[in-house]
Structure 1
Amino acid sequence: MRRCILRLFPWALLCAEVFFPGFGWAQESPSIKIGTLFQMAGSGAEYGRHGSQGAMMAEKEINERGGILGRRLEVFVAHEGIPTVAVDKVLRYILEEGVDFLVGVDSSSVASAVSAVAKQHRKIILFTHARADQLTGWACHRYAFRIAPNAIMDARAAALVMKDRPAKRWYGIVAGSEYGRGAWESFQATLRKVRPDVEFVGELWPRRFTADYTSIIQAVMEAKPDGVLSTLWGQELVTFVRQALPLGFFERVKFFVNPGGASLGVLGPLGDEMPAGLWVSAGYWFAYPDSVENRVFVKAYRVFYGEYPADVALASYSAVHLLKRVIEEVGSLDTERIVERLEGITYRDPEGVKTIRREDHQVVKDVVWGRTTRSTRHPFRILDDLVVIPGDELVRSVEETGCRT
C-alpha cells in the first residue's frame, strides 16, 4: 500500500512512497502507524478529502513536536470504496503495513464491515463520520469507538429544534440505509413525544446514488407537508437540492430539515445554489464555538489547505490527537490498556469538552443546528440562528442501545 500525502492541489490526492527524515528518531524504534479509510472518490469525496486532511494535519503537528513516545507517527490514507473493498484494505493495513490503529470511515455500511475485521484482529478503531446507530449499539464491541454523533442523536436534536415551529404535517425523504432508517424512526418518535399533535403524512426511500429525484420531489409537494425530514447526504443531497430548486420545492415546503446538511462537504459544492432558510446540522461547525482553541484550529487548517475545515476534518484531527494522548498516558501500545483508558475518557478538542461513554464507546457531545443564510465573507451558505443541543439530552440509555461490550 502506498503512502498517501495530501498537497494543496484542488481535488487531488497525490500518493507516493515518501520518507520523512524525522527529528532525531531512535533508529531502533519503529514508527507508530495509523491506517485511515475515507471516501476519496464518488459521492462522498468531499468528506474523504476533509477527513484525510484533518488526519494528515494532526500527523504533521505531532511529528514536529517529537512524535509519540519519541517515535515518528505515520498516517496512511486509503479510499474505502464499497464494504468488500474496504475489508480488503483494512486487512492489508493490518497484515502487510502493520498498522497499530484504524481511524475514519464515512459510509455506515463500510463501517459495519470494517468494524467486524477490527474486532477479529483486536485493532482499535475510532469512527469519525459513519452515523449508523448499530456501531455503538447492538453491533458494538470492545475495540470500536465513535467520536462523532450517531444518527439517533442528530435526529433527536432535529425534533427538539422543530418542536415549537409551526409545522404539523411531516414527510420523510429517507436514504436507503441503516443510517437513514435509524434517523427517521428517531425523529418521528421524539417529535411525537414533544409534539403530540404532529402528523406524518408519508415517506419515500430513494436508493443510494439516485440520479433523478424529480418523481420524489413531485410526490412530496403533492402531499403538501409543512416540513420534510431528509437524511440525504453528500453528493446525493447536492443533486436533490439542484433538482428541487427549479420546481419551487423550497418555496412550497416551509421547513426542510437535514441532519448533516451543514457539512462543508455539502455547502461547499453548492455554494450560492444552496437555498437560505433550510434547517441543517453538522458534526462540527467551524464558527462554533468562538473560542481561542477553535479559532487557532481553523486558522491553522486554512493555512495548511486554503479552506475552512469540515466536520469530518475536525473529527479525524481529534482522533489522531486523542490516540497520541492515550498512548502517552499508558506509556505503550498495549491494546487492552489503551481500550481501558479510552473507555469513559473526557477529552478536549477545538470544539470543546467531550466524553466517550464507557458502556457503548459512543461520544457524548453537543449537536449544532442552524438555518442556512447568505454570507458576504464566505463562498458558501453559513449557519444563522444557531441552536445547540447538549449531548446528554440526545444519547440513548445504554439499555436502549443494546450494546454489550
Structure 2
Amino acid sequence: MKKFVALLALAASLAAVAQPKPIKIGEINSYSSIPQFTVPYRQGWQLAVDEVNAAGGLLGRPVEVISRDDAGKPEEALRHAIELSSSEKVDVLAGGYLSNVGLALSDYASKNKRLYVASEPLTDALVWDKGNRYTFRLRPSTAMQAAMLVDEAAKLPARRWATIAPNYEYGQSAVATFREQLKARRPDVEFVAEQWPVLGKLDAGSTLQAITQAKPDAIFNVTFGADLAKLVREGNQRNVFPKIPVVSLLSGEPEYLDVLKDETPKGWIVTGYPWDQIDTRDHASFAANYYKKYNENPKMGSVVGYATLQAIFAAIRKAKTVDNDKLVLAMRGLKFTTPFGATEFRALDQQSTMGAYVGKLDLRGNKGTMVQWRYADGRDYQPTDAYVKSRRPAAAMQ
C-alpha cells in the first residue's frame, strides 16, 4: 500500500512538472460600479483568453487572467495592483476604466517597473504629462476623440457653445481639448456656459436650466452612464433636445443606447460603435465568435476587452518572454489586429492608433442607432511628434 501511495505521489509530482507554468495577466476594472461597460469588457477578454489557449497558449504556456474589482476607486485599484504583483506574481497588469484609476495604476507601474496596458482610461495625461515607459494605452485618447468630433462641430453654424461634463480629470480635459481645438478651427465661436456635475450625481433639471439660460447655439456633452440617461430624459421633456444641437463623447456606444432606448435623441453627433453595420472581415469574425460564445451581440466594452488582450498576446509573441523591460521594447511600434482592424502602438507616446466611429444618433424601431457614420482612424488624430515631446517627460521616452 505504501508503495502504491508513493507511486501516486510520484505521478502527481511528474504531472506538475510537465504542466507548464501559466502566463498570468492581472486585470483590474470597475466591475461593480460601471457594469454596463465592464461586464461586456470581461466577456471580451475572456473570449480572447479562450481562443489563445485553444490554439496552444503563448510560448508553450497557457494564459490565465486574474481579475479584480476596483469599484471605481483609485485606492482600491492600487491595493489590487500590489496584491496581484506580490501574491499572485502576475506577469503583466491591464485594465482600468475611469481616468483617475488609470493614472493610479500607471503611477504604480512606473514605480515598480511593471508593464501596464490601460484599456479604457482616456485621459491625455496617461501618455503625456504623466506618461511613463511602462504604460501603454489602447483606446483613442480624449484629445483624439475630441478632435474627431471637432471635425463635425466646426461644420455647424453654431457660434455660442455650452459644455456639460463630469467634474474629474476626464471631463475637465475633454472640455479643455474640445474648446481649444474648436476655437482653432472656428475663431468666431465663444463658450457661454459650463456645468460640472459630480460624476454619478447629475441634477439634470438644474444643469439644463443653467445651460439654457445662456442661450447657446450648441452643447458639448461629456456625461455618460446614468448621468447621460438623466440628461437625455430631462432634455427631451423640456424640449431642449433636439432643439439645441449636441456633440457628445461616447454616446453612440451600445452600452448607453441600450439604456436610452426610444428616448435616444435624434441628430446628436457622437463617437460610438455601430456594431450591426460594420462589414469588415476582422469585425465580422470577432462578432460571430462573440455571439457564439455569449448568445448576445458585442458592445464597445467587448471590443476593448478583446483588443487589450490581443495587444498583450502580440507583445509576448514578439518579445518571446514576459520580462517586462523586454515587453516594453516589443510594445513600442507593435502592430496587432483588433476588431476595428490593424492597429499599432506609437513608439513616441505609447498610444495606440485604434480609432473610433463618428456619426449621428437616430431611432430604428424603439432602439437608438448610429447613422451617417464613418471610421475615424486614430493615426489621423494623433498630435505631432513635437507636441508630444513638449508634453511627455523625457524619461518616459527612454
On whether the aligned pair clears a TM of 0.5, the verdict is yes
Tell me the equivalent position of 2:226: 235
Which residue of 2 is the match for residue 77 of structure 1? Answer: 67
Contact between 1:36 and 1:102, CA under 8 Å: does it hold in 2? yes
- 2:384 is equivalent to residue 397 of structure 1: yes
Change (3 A) 1:341 1:46: same
Q: Specify the alignment match of 1:305 in structure 2.
A: 294
- Residue 227 of structure 1: how far off its partner (Å): 0.9
Report if the CA contact (8 A) 2:355-2:378 is conserved.
yes
Tell me the SS of whatever aligns to 1:308.
coil
Q: Is the 8 A contact 1:174 1:180 kept in 2?
A: yes
Aligned residue for 1:15? none
Q: What RMSD over aligned residues (CA atoms) do the two structures have, in Å? A: 1.8
CA contact (8 A) 2:359 2:370 kept: yes
Q: Is the 8 A contact 1:25 1:70 kept in 2?
A: no
Task: Kindly state the Cα deviation for residue 34 of structure 1 after the two structures are TM-superposed.
Answer: 0.9
Other-structure match for 2:357 = 368
Measured after TM superposition, the shift of residue 239 of structure 1 is 2.3
Alignment of 1:165-176 (within 5 A): 165-176=156-167
Aligned to 1:261: 251
Deviation >6 Å, runs of 4+: none
Structure 1 pair 49/381, CA: closer, same or farther in 2 (3 Å)?
same
Contact 1:288 1:351 in 2 (8 A): no
Partner residue of 2:153 out of 154, 162, 169: 162
**Larger radius of gyration between Structure 1 and Structure 2:** 2
Tell me if 1:139 matches 2:126: no
- C-alpha contact 2:92 2:324 (8 A) present in aligned 1: no
In structure 2, the residue matched to 1:60 is 50
Task: Return the alpha-carbon distance in structure 2 between the equivalents of residues 220 and 64 of structure 1.
Answer: 54
Separation in structure 2 between the aligned mates of residue 79 and residue 344 of structure 1, nearest angstrom? 31
How far off is 1:349 after superposition?
A: 1.7
Identify the residue that residue 381 of structure 1 maps to in structure 2: 368
* Change in CA separation of 1:243 and 1:305 when aligned onto 2, cut-off 3 Å: farther
Deviation at 1:66, TM superposition (A): 0.9
Q: Give 1:242 deviation, angstroms.
A: 2.2
1:314 equivalent in structure 2: 303
Query: Residue 355 in 1 paired to residue 344 in 2?
Result: yes
1:111 aligns with 2:102: yes
- Kindly provide the amino acid, as one letter, of the partner of residue 29 in structure 1: P
On the 8 A contact 2:264/2:363 being kept in 1, the answer is: no
Q: CA deviation at 1:149?
A: 0.6
Unaligned runs of 5+ in 1: 1-23
Deviation of 1:383 after TM superposition, in Å, equals 0.6
| Residue number among 306, 310, 333 corresponding to 1:344 in the alignment | 333
Is the contact between residue 274 and residue 369 of structure 2 (CA under 8 Å) also seen in structure 1? no
Aligned length: 377
**Deviation (angstroms), 1:285:** 4.1
Q: For residues 27 and 316 of structure 1, what CA distance do their matches in structure 2 show?
A: 31
2:266, 2:57 → 1: CA distance? 44
Aligned residue identity for 1:258: S
Q: Is the 1:136–1:360 contact (alpha carbons within 8 Å) kept by the matching residues of 2?
A: yes
Describe the superposition over 1:25-45 as per-residue Cα deviations: whole angstroms up to 9, x where unpaired.
Answer: 973421111111221123x22
Aligned partners of 1:98, 1:49: CA distance in 2, in Å?
25
The answer to whether 1:199 aligns with 2:190 is yes
CA contact (8 A) 2:242 2:265 kept: no
- Structure 2: which 5+ residue stretches go unaligned? 1-14
- Separation in 2 of the partners of 1:235 and 1:26? 50
Counterparts of 1:288 and 1:96, CA distance in 2 = 44
TM-aligned CA deviation for residue 307 of structure 1: 2.5
In 2: Cα distance, 1:394 partner to 1:119 partner: 26
TM-score by length of 1: 0.88
Taking the aligned partners of 2:60 and 2:17, their CA distance within structure 1 comes to 8
- Structure 1's 30 and 252: CA in aligned 2 closer, same or farther, altered over 3 A? same
Q: Deviations over 1:109-131 (max 9, x none)?
A: 11111111112222111111111
Conserved? CA contact 1:103–1:316, under 8 Å? no
Residue 290 of structure 1 is matched in structure 2 by 279
2:20 is equivalent to residue 46 of structure 1: no
C-alpha distance after superposition, 1:162-219 (max 9, x if no partner): 1112222211112211111111111111111222222211111111121422111111
Q: What secondary structure, in the 3-state scheme, does the structure 1 residue paired with 2:364 have?
A: coil
* C-alpha separation in 2, matches of 1:382 and 1:108: 27
In structure 1, what is the equivalent of residue 11 of structure 2? none
The question of whether the paired residues in 2 share the 8 Å contact of 1:371 and 1:383 is answered with yes
Question: In 2 relative to 1, CA 61–229 (structure 1 residues): closer, same or farther, beyond 3 Å?
Answer: same
Q: Does residue 334 in structure 1 map to residue 323 in structure 2?
A: yes
Residues 1:93 and 2:84 aligned together: yes
Any conservation in 2 of the 1:51–1:104 contact (CA below 8 Å)? Answer: no
Determine helix, strand or coil for the equivalent of 1:249.
coil
